[in-house]
């Protein structure tokens, strides 16, 4: 029997061993290049039972792709043996490494059991759980090729490691108090020079409100904040030196259980902690502490972008938002991503501001609010995850520990625009401005891996918005139309929230979330991710694929690193639709109608596309319809300031820029004259058909959001406004679908009547929620109309939805319902994000269909 | 028409179309002027055509640009301009008084720059075949002994100095051409830089690289130098002098001041050991009063220009394309 898939590093052989023992079968099992091979002999019934259960009863992190059998003559051997690995992934086959997996229930129980020898061990793990992807340095997967190589096993651990009957048989990251990594709690370095007080100093002071010595220490640290300033290299160097010399940093340094106890005390007191987890450093603080949350927001220069939180357990998560069974399964499952939970309408009484002493009756206290307002202001959702590393469970406390926060803000620790911090020296150089203390350990992180973000739909299906920890590097099957000999390739994705992808034959591997490609650190991380992925998969790319946008950093990176290999340029929205097709397992023999709604993509005509209806298969596409062009006044300036998009759309629709309209009132007079002039002259104006920008314009026009501090903020806040009014908001607005202009087969979707109707509703003082809901329905109606027209013209009945705009639940749901009711087949994303995080998958399939076979 | 914008597309034209057609290596240096040896004497030789609209703008005219542009291109190899040629292409029907004012400006600018107009030419094209007035100037000058200023000489350890506030010329032109009011009038920085370069060479002949960041601005000039020398350039974003009105105008228009044209500024790559003295000499000169160190050459990211942001992050500063397109999705 050969079992292929993710079957190594997951305790698969001990599972087979145990199963064989249970069924009284003899034989042996071994790891091989293609997966796991077992020879079994015994009673026919038992052999059949074995075959039936091997896939269905596999340990949680395993992902069985296929089981094949072959009958061989019986040898009459006795007993069942686990034989040494034949080959860990040589050139002939391919070992599939599992992703990092959340701590299993058995380890969790041991962690909390005072009688267990790993009681409170922060690195407890077994062959069913723990880090894999982020610690492996090379294949074959063995302790020596992980970042645990520097921690020799003690005798007790070595026994478990060698015992096939043990849950820790061949668990490579296995460790205990005696032989595992060390946990440290360190304060920031003492200031090395005369540091000027920045405004961070004031906010860091919130940590000191309880007046304890440690938190007072934390206040002093803010003097060192300009270590983040490029001109001040002194504190950086001194920190580095300290790490190298002693393995601890700065003024304070506790280890082990004392470190955790002190970290919990600091969190309870309102401090901001850097916590080194599985895939990088987090910044953590008590989510209920408004001042700590505000300080974190300030230090991270975070604007209004929501923070994700970690709740102590499922029960606590349920107090934050309603949790469906499908959501509960994800929250507690082995991938354990951040799940976006739609918040219930907030009761006004549950303000987290502490009650006034004079009005507060002891019995009348409302339950203490778990979330400060500042955690996710204006967002319809809250991103929640549960503890996935033993360290997290210890941070929330075990029975007998003093009470502490039940919900922690857990946000990636990074320098603005850079990837999540993983390197200890770098982290300790830049964190003094961000954290009051850091909880870290000496197990290196080989590649950064951010938390994944997943949303569950009303029908219980789920879709990642960020596919990273817990998912990378799980393989994605590619469509059957690809020849099995399709050349090994590398797709470099887009520019923001980027992932890259390698593929060979009919299998693709997406990297973990890499981030925004603007910074050198991210570009370097992309290079590291490409190398790491290549080494895990043995794919040696001979072909590259990149976006057609000539100024994308990723595209330029591909050209710089091509080394003579062909670089296939793939149009942005074609890649989105191809990504949705591949994600749904389409073989590509028949094209689909692709609705690609997103913010920005470079179009074939040099315009900025983003409201596209394409007739697409893997090898090509034709534009069937698009949102009518309006000027994008000032490129990125128009993206950052939705009121500019509103002015542009109003002008294009021929509507007076009445000073009573919110975007007109918001835009300073001088700037408004300039923007008008700019639009009139077409100065620094690119035409755009972006659906994302239309959402921005309507968000501003409805008075919801005029300036953004994070990507898609205006659209997200528009969605939040619409949510309560989606039913009963009255008739939707209506786009005008105009027939193809002479000489073109492309229809135009004109938003002018929508803008007129919004303005009319504003003048009639309609509630914002109603305007927002009518707009959502209008876009869904328009989507149905263009699909019907496309179907009439092409005879195609399948519609693929892709592009970042479909991250909007209300819109995706409204479009899906209408299309299904009209008997269309609807293809929505399943395993990869609809946004640019899924782009690389589309690029790679398109490139594979272009490359000579 | 992105090919005229001074960005990646212009570089492509020179590299793939012109240089191969001419069959010699003289253009390969990609410098503003070419150093030639003639009868044992090292000369700098340069030519440039001026098609600016409008012809007159706050702070100058096409006449000033035609003189200063070529004088500056020579100065960027350390040469003091000696003689210029000046050719006018006039469109039929152009008001002669306009031509007269431009000629006056050319003369005055030549005097100010200490250069003589030695030869000239005038052509008239049919109405509709030109746009009022085009000017071409060429210039020659002597390169002092011991001076070897080239983009290829930039090397890790060099400091990057800018001679003054950036972006003023581009914003001045845009505001008059497009009828934009930014509240404060921005005037062009057009000026002859020969004197400033002399003052710098008085400190040391060992200046590695000089560049006047004209079309495509500081970002383009730095990218060209990084590419030619193979060194990485690290820019300290907060140290770059951007005048408030320029920053405001760029913010309104969605432009990056690093990409906006200058006509009277220079970038100098100077060995660290000489940097303080060179900076002091620059600040003592009227055209370098606001000179500042804005970056350095590094061994990391060879051939790339990277800006260190205020928050300690980094941002790749690429060659611009014809237009600045948004990338935000
Ligand atoms: Fe996109
Ligand atoms: Mg020139
Ligand atoms: Zn476990
Ligand atoms: Zn041990």
Chain segment B90-147, per-residue pLDDT in tens: 999 999 999 999 999 999 999 999 999 999 999 999 999 888 899 999 999 999 999 9
Same domain flag for B81 and B105: yes
Q: Collect all residues of chain B within an 8 Å Cβ-Cβ radius of residue A633.
A: 254
- For residue A520, give the nearest of B174, B301, B328 by CB distance: B301
Residue B21 falls within a domain, yes or no?
A: no
A832 within a domain of the structure (yes/no): no
Lowest average pLDDT, out of A222-236, B186-200, B269-283, goes to: A222-236
B129 and B173 share one domain: no
A430 interfaces chain B, CB cutoff of 8 Å? yes
Task: Identify whether residues A209 and A290 lie together within a single domain.
Answer: yes
CA distance A656 to A653: 9
ipTM for the whole complex: 0.87
The strand ranges marked E within A278-337 are: 281-286, 309-311
Structure tokens at A224: 């060192």
Select from A605, A642, A674, A716 the residue whose CB has the most chain B CBs within 10 Å, as the one to mutate to test that interface. A674
Question: Strand A35-41 vs strand A63-68: parallel, antiparallel, or unpaired?
Answer: unpaired
Q: What torsion, rounded to 10 degrees, do the Cα atoms A452, A456, A457, A463 define? A: 30
> For the domain that residue B230 is a member of, what is the CATH number?
3.90.650.10
Query: In the numeric block, which tokens belong to residue B123?
Result: 């052509």
> Is residue A172 included in any domain, yes or no?
yes
The residue among B148, B138, B150, B140 whose CA lies nearest residue B29 is B150
Q: Classify residue A524: in a domain, yes or no.
A: yes
Q: What is the mean pLDDT of chain A?
A: 87
CATH number of domain containing A158 = 3.90.870.30
From residue B45, alpha-carbon distances to A708, B6, B33, B326 in Å are 51, 20, 6, 39
Residues near A746 by beta carbon (within 8 Å), at least 6 away in sequence: A623, A624, A625, A626, A740
Structural domain contains residue A690: yes
Query: Which CATH number covers residue A507?
Result: 3.30.420.360
Domain end point (choices A542, A564, A584): A584
**Domain's final residue, options B142, B174, B205:** B142
What does DSSP say about strands B41-50 and A608-616: parallel, antiparallel, or unpaired? unpaired
**A648 three-class SS:** helix
Assess if residue B11 is contained within a domain: no
Measured between alpha carbons, how far is residue B31 from residues A494, B81, B83, B206, B218 in Å? 34, 16, 19, 18, 15
One domain for residues A655 and A790? yes
Answer whether residue A618 is part of any domain.
Answer: yes
Cβ under 8 Å to B: A residues 694-713: 711
A569: domain range?
Answer: 473-584
Same domain, A250 and A114: no
Supply the pLDDT for residue A222.
38
Cα–Cα nearest to A747, from A776, A779, A785: A785
Task: State the pLDDT at residue A87.
Answer: 52
In whole angstroms, what is the distance from residue A108 CA to residue A104 CA? 6
A400: left (phi over 0), alpha (psi -120 to 50) or beta: left
Query: Could you tell me if residue A770 is inside a domain?
Result: yes
Q: Are residues A724 and A799 in the same domain?
A: yes
Q: What is the pLDDT of residue A610?
A: 97
Token representation of residue B26: 């003289």
Q: Tell the residue number behind the tokens 């972008």, with chain if given.
A: A305
CATH number (domain holding residue A215) = 3.90.870.10
pLDDT tens digits along A693-705: 999 999 999 999 9
Question: Per 3-state DSSP, what percentage of chain B is helix, strand, and coil (rounded to 5)?
Answer: 35, 25, 40
Q: Give the total number of structural domains in chain A.
A: 5
Q: DSSP string covering B185-235, please?
A: ---------HHHHHHHHHH-S---EEE---TTHHHHHHHHHHHHH--EEEE
Of B26, B263, B253, B70, the C-alpha closest to A634 is B253
Shared domain check, B181 and B294: yes
- Which residue, A522, A556, A584, sits at the end of a domain? A584
Provide the pLDDT for residue A202. 35
Q: Do A206 and A163 belong to one domain?
A: no
Which residues, numbered 44 to 73 in chain B, qualify as contacts with chain A under a Cβ-Cβ cut-off of 8 Å?
A: none
Chain B residues with beta carbon closer than 8 angstroms to that of A710: none
Q: pLDDT per residue over A356-411, tens digit each? A: 444 434 444 445 589 999 999 988 899 999 999 999 999 999 999 999 999 999 99
> Going edge to edge, which strands form the sheet with A489-491?
A475-477, A507-510, A501-504, A489-491, A543-547, A567-570
Measured between its terminal Cα atoms, the distance across chain B in Å is: 26
Quickly state the pLDDT bin for B44 (edges 50, 70, 90): very high
**Would residue B7 count as lying in a domain?**
no
Shared-domain flag, residues B86 and B221: no
Task: Please tell me whether residues A133 and A234 are part of one structural domain.
Answer: no
CATH number at residue B123: 3.30.1330.10
Single out the residue in B142, B175, B196 at which a domain terminates: B142
Q: What is the DSSP string of A203-248?
A: HHGGGGTT--HHHHHHHHHGGGGGGGSTT--HHHHHHHHHHHHHS-
| Spans in chain A with pLDDT lower than 50 | 88-92, 190-251, 347-366, 853
Which residues have a Cβ under 8 Å from the Cβ of A297 and sit 6 or more positions away? A303, A307, A374
CA distance A118 to A178: 10
- Contacts B253 to A, Cβ<8 Å: 634, 637, 674, 678, 683-684
Q: Does residue A330 sit within a domain?
A: yes
Mutation target to probe the A interface, by most A beta carbons within 10 A, among B170, B185, B327 is B327
Residues A391 and A291 grouped into a single domain? yes
Pair (B157, B296) in one structural domain: yes
Give the integer Cα–Cα distance in Å for A410 and B73. 55
Residues B192 and B112: beta-carbon distance below 8 Å: yes
Verify whether the Cβ–Cβ distance A418 to B313 is below 8 Å.
Answer: yes
Same domain? For B166 and B259 the reply is yes
Q: Which residues contact A116 (CB under 8 A, 6 or more apart)?
A: A110
Domain boundary, last residue among B110, B142, B174: B142
CA–CA gap between residue A140 and residue A9 (Å, rounded): 10
Domain for residue B5, yes or no? no
| CB A544, CB A565: distance < 8 Å | yes
Contact B308 A683 (CB under 8 A): no
Same domain, A274 and A375: yes
Residue from B105, B101, B109, B97 nearest B70 by CA: B109
Shared-domain flag, residues A485 and A623:
no
What is the C-alpha to C-alpha distance for residues A799 and A820, in angstroms, rounded to an integer? 10
Give the pLDDT score at B325.
53
**Residue A625: C-alpha distances to residues A621, A739, A748 (Å):** 12, 9, 6
Q: Which two tokens stand for residue B303?
A: 């051939």
Please answer whether residues B217 and B83 qualify as being in contact, where contact means their C-beta atoms are separated by less than 8 angstroms. Answer: no
Residues B208 and B128 in one domain: no
Q: How many CB atoms lie within 10 A of CB A196?
A: 10
B161 and B133, same domain (yes or no): no
Q: Are residues A488 and A540 in the same domain?
A: yes
Residue B170 in this model has a pLDDT that exceeds 70: yes
Residue B202 lies in a domain: yes
Same domain? A310 vs A398: yes
Backbone angles phi, psi at B282, to 5 degrees: -65, -45
Whose CA is closest to B216, among B30, B35, B77?
B30
Chain B residues touching A239 at Cβ < 8 A:
none
A640 - beta bridge partners?
Answer: none
Is residue A610, in this structure, part of any structural domain at all? yes
Kindly state whether residues A430 and A564 are assigned to the same domain.
no
Residue ending a domain, among A562, A584, A606, is: A584
- The full length of chain B comes to 329
**Do B258 and B132 sit in the same domain of this protein?**
no
B82 and B168 share one domain: no
The count of structural domains within chain B is 2
Domain co-membership, B215 together with B247: yes
Instruction: Report CA-CA distances (Å) from B113 to A305, B72, B107, B152, B187.
Output: 54, 10, 10, 27, 19
Provide the mean pLDDT of chain B.
90
Q: Domain range spanning residue B74?
A: 31-142
SS3 A421: coil
Instruction: Based on the fold, state whether residues B38 and B98 are members of the same structural domain.
Output: yes
Inter-chain residue contact A686 with B251, CB threshold 8 Å: no
Instruction: State the Cα–Cα distance between residues A716 and A774, nearest whole angstrom.
Output: 16
pLDDT at residue number A774? 98
* Closest C-alpha to A649, from A733, A743, A550: A733
Strand B292-298's sheet: what is its strand order? Answer: B209-211, B267-270, B159-162, B292-298, B232-236, B305-308, B314-316
pLDDT of residue A93: 53
Interface touch B327/A549, C-beta < 8 Å:
yes
Query: Considering CB atoms only, which of A417, A675, A684 is closest to B255?
Result: A684
Nearest to B139 by CA among B86, B208, B102, B94: B86
For residue B328, being part of any structural domain is answered with no
Closest Cα in chain A to B2: A606
Question: Distance between CA atoms of B312 and A284, rounded to whole angstroms?
Answer: 21
In CATH, what number is assigned to the domain containing residue A726?
3.30.420.40
Between positions 804 and 833 of A, the ones with CB within 8 A of B are 804
């Amino acid at each position: 029997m050969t079992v292929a898939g993710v079957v190594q590093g997951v305790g698969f052989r001990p599972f087979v061993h145990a199963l064989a023992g249970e069924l009284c079968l003899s034989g042996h099992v071994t790891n091989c290049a293609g997966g796991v091979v077992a020879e079994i002999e015994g009673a026919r019934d038992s052999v059949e039972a074995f075959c039936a259960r091997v896939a269905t009863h596999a340990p949680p992190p395993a992902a069985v792709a296929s089981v094949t059998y072959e009958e061989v003559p019986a040898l009459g051997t006795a007993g069942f043996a686990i034989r040494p690995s034949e080959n860990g992934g040589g050139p002939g086959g391919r070992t599939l490494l599992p992703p990092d997996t959340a701590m299993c229930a058995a380890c969790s129980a041991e962690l909390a059991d005072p009688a267990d020898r790993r009681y409170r061990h922060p690195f407890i793990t077994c062959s069913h759980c723990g880090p894999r992807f982020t610690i492996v340095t090379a294949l074959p997967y063995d302790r020596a090729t992980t970042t645990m190589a520097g921690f020799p096993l003690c005798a007790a651990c070595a026994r478990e490691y060698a015992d096939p009957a043990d849950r820790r048989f061949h668990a490579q990251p296995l460790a205990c108090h005696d032989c595992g990594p060390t946990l440290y709690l360190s304060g920031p370095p003492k200031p090395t020079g005369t540091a000027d007080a920045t405004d961070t100093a004031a906010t860091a002071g919130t940590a000191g409100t309880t007046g304890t010595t440690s938190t007072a220490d934390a206040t002093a640290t803010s003097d060192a904040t300009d270590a983040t300033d490029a001109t001040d290299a002194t504190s950086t160097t001194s920190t580095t030196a300290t790490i190298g010399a002693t393995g601890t940093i700065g003024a304070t340094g506790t280890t082990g259980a004392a470190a955790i106890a002190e970290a919990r005390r600091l969190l309870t007191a309102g401090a901001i902690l850097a916590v080194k987890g599985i895939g990088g450093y987090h910044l953590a603080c008590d989510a209920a502490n408004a001042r700590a949350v505000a300080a974190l927001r300030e230090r991270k220069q975070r604007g209004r972008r929501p923070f994700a939180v970690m709740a102590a357990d499922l029960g606590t998560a349920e107090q934050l938002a309603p949790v469906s069974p499908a959501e509960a399964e994800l929250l507690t499952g082995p991938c354990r991503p951040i799940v976006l939970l739609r918040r219930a309408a907030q009761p006004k009484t549950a303000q987290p501001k502490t009650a006034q002493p004079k009005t507060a009756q002891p019995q009348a206290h409302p339950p203490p609010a778990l979330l400060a307002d500042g955690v996710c202001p204006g967002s319809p959702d809250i991103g929640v995850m549960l503890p996935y590393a033993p360290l997290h469970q210890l941070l929330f406390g075990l029975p007998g520990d003093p009470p502490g926060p039940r919900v922690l803000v857990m946000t990636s620790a990074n320098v603005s625009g850079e990837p999540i911090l993983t390197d200890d020296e770098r982290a300790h150089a830049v964190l003094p401005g961000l954290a009051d203390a850091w909880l870290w350990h000496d197990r290196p992180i080989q590649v950064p891996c951010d938390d994944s973000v997943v949303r569950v739909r009303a029908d219980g299906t789920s879709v990642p918005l960020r596919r990273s920890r817990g998912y990378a590097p799980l393989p994605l099957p590619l469509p059957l139309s690809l020849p099995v000999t399709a050349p090994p390739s590398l797709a470099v994705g887009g520019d923001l929230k980027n992932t890259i992808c390698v593929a060979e034959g009919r299998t693709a591997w997406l990297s973990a979330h890499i981030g925004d490609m603007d910074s050198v650190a991210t570009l370097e991380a992309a290079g590291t991710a490409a190398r790491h992925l290549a080494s895990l998969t043995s794919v040696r790319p001979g072909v590259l694929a990149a976006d057609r946008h000539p100024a994308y950093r990723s595209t330029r990176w591909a050209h710089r690193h091509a080394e003579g290999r062909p670089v296939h340029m793939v149009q942005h929205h074609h890649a989105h639709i191809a990504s949705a097709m591949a994600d749904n397992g389409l073989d590509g023999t028949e094209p689909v109608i692709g609705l690609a709604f997103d913010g920005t993509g470079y179009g074939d005509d040099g315009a900025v596309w983003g409201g596209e209806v394409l007739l697409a298969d893997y090898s090509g596409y034709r534009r069937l319809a698009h949102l009518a062009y309006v000027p994008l006044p000032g490129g990125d300036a128009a993206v950052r300031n939705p009121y500019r998009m509103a002015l542009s759309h109003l002008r294009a629709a021929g509507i007076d820029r009445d000073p009573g309209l919110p975007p007109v009132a918001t835009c300073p007079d001088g700037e408004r004259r300039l923007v008008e002039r700019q639009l009139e002259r077409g100065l620094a104006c690119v035409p755009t058909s972006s659906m994302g920008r239309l959402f921005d314009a309507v968000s501003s026009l409805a008075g919801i959001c005029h300036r953004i501090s994070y990507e898609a903020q205006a659209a997200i806040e528009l969605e939040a406004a619409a949510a309560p009014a989606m039913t009963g908001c009255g008739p939707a607005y209506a786009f005008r679908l105009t027939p193809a202009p002479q000489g073109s087969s492309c229809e135009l979707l004109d938003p002018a009547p929508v803008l007129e109707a919004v303005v009319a509703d504003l003048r009639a003082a309609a509630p914002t929620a109603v305007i927002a809901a009518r707009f959502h329905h209008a876009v869904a109606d328009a989507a149905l109309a263009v699909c019907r027209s496309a179907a009439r013209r092409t005879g195609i009945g399948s519609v693929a939805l892709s592009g970042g705009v479909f991250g909007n639940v209300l819109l995706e749901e409204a479009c899906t319902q209408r299309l299904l009711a009209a008997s269309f087949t609807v293809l929505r994303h399943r395993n990869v994000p609809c946004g640019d995080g899924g782009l690389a998958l589309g690029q790679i399939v398109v490139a594979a269909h272009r490359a000579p076979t | 028409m992105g090919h005229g914008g001074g960005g990646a597309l212009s570089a492509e034209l020179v590299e793939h179309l012109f240089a191969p057609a001419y069959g010699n290596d003289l253009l390969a240096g990609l410098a503003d002027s070419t150093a030639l040896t003639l009868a044992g004497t090292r000369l700098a030789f340069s030519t440039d055509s001026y098609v600016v609209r409008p012809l007159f703008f706050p702070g100058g005219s096409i006449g000033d640009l035609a003189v200063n542009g070529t004088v500056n291109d020579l100065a960027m190899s350390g040469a003091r301009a000696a003689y210029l040629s000046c050719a006018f292409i006039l469109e039929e029907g152009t008001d002669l008084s306009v031509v007269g004012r431009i000629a006056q400006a050319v003369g005055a600018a030549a005097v100010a720059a200490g250069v003589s107009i030695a030869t000239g030419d005038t052509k008239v094209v049919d109405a509709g075949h030109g746009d009022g007035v085009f000017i071409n100037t060429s210039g020659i000058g002597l390169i002092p002994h011991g001076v070897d200023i080239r983009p290829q000489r930039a090397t890790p350890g060099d400091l990057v100095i800018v001679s003054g506030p950036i972006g003023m010329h581009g914003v001045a032109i845009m505001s008059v051409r497009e009828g934009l009011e930014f509240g404060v009038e921005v005037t062009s920085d057009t000026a002859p830089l020969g004197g400033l370069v002399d003052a710098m060479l008085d400190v040391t002949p060992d200046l590695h690289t000089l560049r006047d960041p004209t079309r495509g601005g500081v970002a383009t000039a730095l990218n060209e130098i990084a590419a030619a020398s193979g060194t990485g350039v690290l820019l300290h974003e907060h140290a770059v002098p951007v005048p408030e009105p320029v920053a405001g105008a760029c913010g309104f228009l969605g432009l990056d001041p690093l990409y906006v044209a200058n006509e009277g500024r220079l970038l100098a790559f100077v060995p660290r050991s000489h940097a303080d003295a060179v900076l002091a000499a620059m600040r003592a000169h009227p055209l370098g009063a606001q000179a500042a160190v804005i970056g350095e050459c590094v061994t990391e990211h060879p051939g790339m220009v990277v800006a260190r942001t205020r928050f300690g992050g980094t941002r790749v500063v690429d060659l611009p394309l014809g237009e600045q397109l948004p990338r935000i999705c």
